[in-house]
Amino acid sequence: MERLNYHHLLYFYTVAREGSVARASLRLGLKQPTVSAQIHALENKLGRKLVERSGRGLKVTPAGETVLRYAETIFTLGGELLSTLDGRAEVAPKLAVGVSSSIPQSLAAALLGGLFELDPRPVLTITEVSPETLAALLASRSLQFALTDLQIKEVHSGTDSAEALHSRVLLESPIEVFAPAALARKLRADFPLRLAGAPVLMPAPGALRREVESWLSARKIAECKLAEMPHPELSAAAAGAAIFAPSLQRESLKKSHGLLPAGELEGSRWRLFVSAIRGARHPGLDAVMRAAKDMR
């Protein structure tokens, strides 16, 4: 089998980072037609379109994003190899963790905080995307493990095969309404009826959002949705609006955002899962498990 030409990979990496062939050519010290030809050669080799025009520049395609991640790893390892052989530095272990974008930031930060206490301390990379994208990254071994609010049972690796995931419940909690003090007092006076017409910031699409919408729909409660966003707790005080969040966030929401509990969505459940390729182990995963145990 013909091997991958790493010069082609370098040209693609530079074009992707610069956002245009012109800027990449200047950085590489080559003519634009030469760089373009090398990109086309790599696309032909891989059988995938890696970049496409976007306005006056270029954007990386989904296939190009995958190639870019591998290119970054290859070039980083090359640099570490030279540094190690020259005695300039020790190679620190790497830890890549995925976090579903619908998971509250403060909760993710609390769970991942123990990773900074590992010895040796790893070079940590956190990727915050959708559960579907996290599944693909786990399949490509780009992540050691991922925190999601949706259970992923298997991931496809780009071939016809699928790898089983070991996925377990890390945390489980009822859902509550939180709001600035004045609004919280008003909602508590006659909860949940006062939710009807109340200003709320809805979470981004995900397990929490679906559970909340199902609960409201079953009780025929129509809230006044002001916006939907990945981390509504960051804007609730400024907007004077309520949010929905797992009960285990009570202390952090009060301390960091001045939001008080207004009522529990009776019967609701929110779950946080940790997923990894079955059989894979990493000390970082144990640290996250210990942090979750302390939260229960």
User: Are residues 51 and 186 both part of a single domain?
Assistant: no
User: Are residues 249 and 209 both part of a single domain?
Assistant: yes
Q: What is the mean pLDDT of each run of 10 residues along the chain (296 residues)?
A: 68 83 80 87 87 82 85 73 61 83 87 85 85 80 88 52 71 96 96 94 90 94 88 93 95 94 96 83 85 87
User: Are residues 14 and 26 both part of a single domain?
Assistant: yes
Nearest to 200 by CA among 263, 243, 230, 250: 243
User: Are residues 59 and 191 both part of a single domain?
Assistant: no
Say if 242 falls within a structural domain: yes
Pairwise CA distance, residues 256 & 110, whole Å: 13
Which runs of consecutive H residues, i.e. helices, occur in 119-180?
A: 131-139
Pairwise CA distance, residues 174 & 211, whole Å: 10
User: Are residues 183 and 166 both part of a single domain?
Assistant: no
Say if 20 falls within a structural domain: yes
Cα–Cα separations (whole angstroms), residue 74 to 40, 89, 93, 153, 234: 20, 18, 15, 29, 37
User: Are residues 162 and 179 both part of a single domain?
Assistant: no
Say if 246 falls within a structural domain: yes
Measured in Å, how far apart are the chain's first and last C-alpha atoms?
53
Say if 1 falls within a structural domain: no
Beta-carbon contacts of 167 under 8 Å, excluding residues fewer than 6 positions away, are 151, 152, 153, 273, 274, 275
Beta-carbon contacts of 129 under 8 Å, excluding residues fewer than 6 positions away, are 98, 100, 101, 137
Provide the pLDDT for residue 150: 84
Provide the pLDDT for residue 79: 65
User: How many Cα atoms are found within 13 Å in the side-chain-facing hemisphere of 47?
Assistant: 0
User: Are residues 68 and 103 both part of a single domain?
Assistant: no
CATH code for position 143: 3.40.190.10
Pairwise CA distance, residues 179 & 236, whole Å: 7
Q: Within a 10 A sphere around the Cβ of 36, how many other Cβ atoms?
A: 16
Provide the pLDDT for residue 158: 42
User: Are residues 164 and 139 both part of a single domain?
Assistant: yes
Last residue of a domain, one of 67, 85, 103: 85
Say if 108 falls within a structural domain: yes
Last residue of a domain, one of 61, 85, 109: 85
CATH code for position 50: 1.10.10.10
User: Are residues 78 and 63 both part of a single domain?
Assistant: yes
Provide the pLDDT for residue 157: 41
- What total of structural domains would you count in the chain? 3
Provide the pLDDT for residue 17: 81
For 158, the token pair is 């780009």
Say if 276 falls within a structural domain: yes
Last residue of a domain, one of 85, 108, 141: 85
Q: 286 phi and psi, to 5 degrees?
A: -65, -35
pTM of structure: 0.65
User: Are residues 100 and 164 both part of a single domain?
Assistant: yes
Question: What range defines the domain where residue 247 resides?
Answer: 175-268
User: Are residues 260 and 190 both part of a single domain?
Assistant: yes
User: Are residues 128 and 247 both part of a single domain?
Assistant: no
Provide the pLDDT for residue 99: 92
